[in-house]
Amino acid sequence: MATFEGFDAKDAREFNELWLPAWSGNRPEQLVSFYTEDAFYADPGNWPGVRGRRALLAYFTTLLARFPDWKWTHRGSQPMKDGFLNGWHATIPLHGRVFEVDGVASVQLRGGQIYRNVVYFDRSEIFAALEGPVSEPAPRQDLPRHAVLARR
């Protein structure tokens, strides 16, 4: 019979105590050291994602420079194959405001390093602060009404 090899709550908490601080302080080299050479990473601002440590370093260099003072905390986890589903909270100072954001991420590991990390959260409030209001495109007249509504 096959056995499940996910991270229990204790293992996930211990991993997060090392990994999440690497997201703060604009240290992309330290953060990328948690990932395998062939790692896949995606988040709402980087969809469909990047593959490989070199691409991750380029992405994390830009991302961490933009948000050097954010702080990440572990909120809990659920085991999954090769890792855990990570519940997290981020405090993100930006343009004189502080955003409190909750999300989840799948974290799968091989040999103690992350080979797949997919992050999910609602970034609409942060996006509005970075880019200003987003206007909706005008409805296309050649689409059925249900297709126009689905675009919203």
- CATH number of the domain at 104, please: 3.10.450.50
Count of CB atoms within 10 A of residue 18's CB?
Answer: 9
Q: What sign has the CA pseudo-torsion 48, 53, 54, 60? A: positive
The secondary element (H helix, E strand) that includes residue 66 is helix 53-66
Domain with 36, as residue range(s), is 9-135
Rounded to two decimals, what is the model's pTM?
Answer: 0.81
Of all residues in the chain, the percent with pLDDT exceeding 90 is 70
Q: What is the pLDDT of residues 120-140, one digit of tens each?
A: 999 888 878 777 554 455 454
Q: Please report, for residues 25, 72, 74, 141, the alpha-carbon distance to residue 30 in angstroms, rounded to integers and kept in the order given.
A: 10, 15, 19, 51
Ramachandran assignment for 4, one of left (phi > 0), alpha (psi -120 to 50 degrees), beta (any other): beta
Number of domains in the chain: 1
Q: What is the pLDDT of residues 25-75, one digit of tens each?
A: 999 999 999 999 999 999 998 989 999 999 999 999 999 999 999 999 999
User: Is residue 46 included in any domain, yes or no?
Assistant: yes
User: Is residue 60 included in any domain, yes or no?
Assistant: yes
